[in-house]
Structure 1
């Protein structure tokens, strides 16, 4: 039912997107990346290894080192493949293993910079034989529109009732030294019990009743946060500090920048989203490039494909994964308003997300030149990021000669939340020595 392909799959928007890039002259990454050194980073499967677990006696003989602030790499350097292979099979820390999932993957990273921009090039081999570009799809069942397909961790996918359909993602965390211990313990600082797909996952009603997360942030689950935003030693999800305390932390720069390239929700418009982690995983001020293409009251799409531009008002189940068919609805390029009387047939499919480069704005739209292509089973993502975005309240200001701490993660093979592959924290030197050193270019 789900087609496979080994060709790049970008949809019909690429020509228009290329024209956008050529007219705006956003950046000038290296013309010849073969001249830029390649660093191969082992990303491994972490299971449910939360920060809580790192500090617990279950983290045998290492919990004391974690509490003392020692680095993960001081004990586990070179053990990424061993750890990933063990956890992915359902040993400790993984109560719900996904059959056939690989425990480790190689992420190739290249870095360059000029006086204005940092340029990053990433490559990784996908486990699937097609690009993971489908996300939140809706299908007409003959009477109504329903969400169809999901992440491989979901029971309806595990059972075979629905297909695995979830976007590939590449995430980058940056710290400039203002978040205590990130350089040693990396993204584990942000991962806690009570979060989605973690031990003690907190229910929707309990989260919505919480004064900060539910009432103020309007969230219904727990996502990444930093221990410094909690008032107890355990950094419990619900023991949040006052709004005034959190505002002071933000003003002092004690947050992590978190940027995510998404194969469905950002790549078709040549962008990545821009966010940060503090009391929660939050988006930067402004508007990112994606929103819902679903009226949640009527559960009907807001837009459909413009048949004059793409040849049909919708795709079908058989079209999923076909590189010649569109996979994303882009408001200003291939969309028209949804028409309930358009003669919908059982099996018609529309994306549940609406993309727009034109509508993206503010600090949330800083990553405006991030382009990924998939070929022969490999993603190549070229990412341009201004050294100083001009938004210090949300982003880390970088400069030549500086060294920052970074962490990487890849969601591959139709997964979300903790079912990703991650790196230990490492250093990025911008014209300076680091585990990854950026090369100066003109």
Structure 2
């Protein structure tokens, strides 16, 4: 009993130290964001005094053009830590040989956060350094990104704002010039889980990350894709395979026994079955924002698809802090858009492609809850 007491005391002390470290890091991020806001406001005031600006600012301190009537100072912020996942695919997390939590996930119904909510920083730091699930590490790349996320709504639209510190450039050694996406210093994605997705509510966007996607261990390569012309044509794929849902395939290899390639990119269901899944709401709603403020609305099912859903966005870097704001209708009616309704809780995921990253070299969140005017959700979309 005395030994147990000592162990419990040590664990409590370590947990308290970790909590204090996390709080200090988040406070530092908030301080940097506040400094960036003050700098942006001061800059705009100076411009106004010099009659150099004709339009309202789109700085981190104001509503901007996308959310002109939203008072962000009145919207509560949620501090989320996004971590670097490496090649940890949907197959990897379900395989007991590679992931110790496979059985609680697949059999027990546990969410990723059930086991890993307090380990996000440790996980990202370990993976980014290189190893089993990161065979091509990028020297200097950070393992986590601490972001402040705010969400609001009016009678018609959802508004989301993300802010996080920039970290400078660390060239990718396996890419000429060191930049995987030279046109976009950052990209931001938000995914909203639809219905009927295997472990969709417990894993969120992880359900779309497969072992045969781009830069993943079983990426089939351009030759194999070209050799399967029918599937490649339907997927509009040439060199690589985008993310997809298991529900869109007749079979997805998870265990990889006897040397079988994991994934199921070429096991595509008939087109009429894919259409029915879309009609049933079995998809991940995907909203993307690029460094220049442009955006795309779409969804993930058999592949990544752009739809006709409305969306507006803006992005800026000021005082060493990135600010991305975007909006979309609560109920657009467009195929691939999840309608957002009061009284429902949605599983969402966020991804940040930082430092000109592409494909899997991003930072992501675990399963995150979002709801309209519900303080029990991690992200409470407050009415304004």
Check 1:429–1:92 CA distance in 2 against 1; reply closer, same or farther (3 A cut).
same
Paired position in structure 2 for 1:90: 130
TM-score, normalisation: structure 1 = 0.66
Paired position in structure 1 for 2:370: 428
Quote the RMSD (CA, aligned, Å): 2.7
Deviations, residues 222-264 of structure 1 (Å, cap 9, x unaligned)? 1100011111252512111111211111111101111110014
Q: Give the Å deviation of 1:389.
A: 1.4
* Matching residue within 390, 407, 410 for 2:333: 390
Paired position in structure 2 for 1:171: 189
Specify every segment of 5 or more residues in structure 2 that has no aligned partner in the other structure, as ranges: 1-35, 41-52, 58-63, 254-262
TM-score, normalisation: structure 2 = 0.76
Q: Give the Å deviation of 1:219.
A: 1.3
Q: Does 1:47 align with 2:86?
A: yes
Does the CA-based 8 Å contact 2:373-2:383 persist in structure 1?
yes
Matches within 5 A, 1:24-63: 28-63=67-102
Matches within 5 A, 1:327-338: none
Paired position in structure 2 for 1:406: 348
In the alignment, the residues of structure 2 paired with residue 38 and residue 224 of structure 1 have an alpha-carbon distance, to the nearest angstrom, of 30
Paired position in structure 2 for 1:184: 202
* Matching residue within 87, 104, 109 for 2:149: 109
* Matching residue within 281, 287, 290 for 1:259: 287
**Matched residue SS, 2:177:** helix
**Moved >6 Å (runs of 4+):** 15-19
In the alignment, the residues of structure 2 paired with residue 374 and residue 29 of structure 1 have an alpha-carbon distance, to the nearest angstrom, of 19
Total equivalences in the alignment: 316
In the alignment, the residues of structure 2 paired with residue 91 and residue 217 of structure 1 have an alpha-carbon distance, to the nearest angstrom, of 32
In the alignment, the residues of structure 2 paired with residue 114 and residue 75 of structure 1 have an alpha-carbon distance, to the nearest angstrom, of 35
Q: Give the Å deviation of 1:47.
A: 0.5
Does the CA-based 8 Å contact 2:195-2:281 persist in structure 1?
no
In the alignment, the residues of structure 2 paired with residue 85 and residue 223 of structure 1 have an alpha-carbon distance, to the nearest angstrom, of 26
Q: Does 1:380 align with 2:323?
A: yes
**Matched residue SS, 1:201:** coil
* Matching residue within 279, 282, 303 for 1:280: 303
Q: Give the Å deviation of 1:31.
A: 4.1
Paired position in structure 2 for 1:214: 232
In the alignment, the residues of structure 2 paired with residue 164 and residue 226 of structure 1 have an alpha-carbon distance, to the nearest angstrom, of 25
**Matched residue SS, 2:207:** helix
Structure with bigger strand share is 1
Specify every segment of 5 or more residues in structure 1 that has no aligned partner in the other structure, as ranges: 1-5, 9-14, 20-24, 133-150, 285-361
In the alignment, the residues of structure 2 paired with residue 107 and residue 232 of structure 1 have an alpha-carbon distance, to the nearest angstrom, of 37
Does the CA-based 8 Å contact 1:183-1:426 persist in structure 2?
no
Does the CA-based 8 Å contact 2:89-2:210 persist in structure 1?
yes
Q: Give the Å deviation of 1:65.
A: 2.2
In the alignment, the residues of structure 2 paired with residue 17 and residue 370 of structure 1 have an alpha-carbon distance, to the nearest angstrom, of 17
Does the CA-based 8 Å contact 2:286-2:298 persist in structure 1?
yes
Does the CA-based 8 Å contact 1:410-1:420 persist in structure 2?
yes
Paired position in structure 2 for 1:122: 162
Q: Give the Å deviation of 1:153.
A: 5.7
**Matched residue SS, 2:125:** helix
Structure with bigger helix share is 2
**Matched residue SS, 2:338:** coil
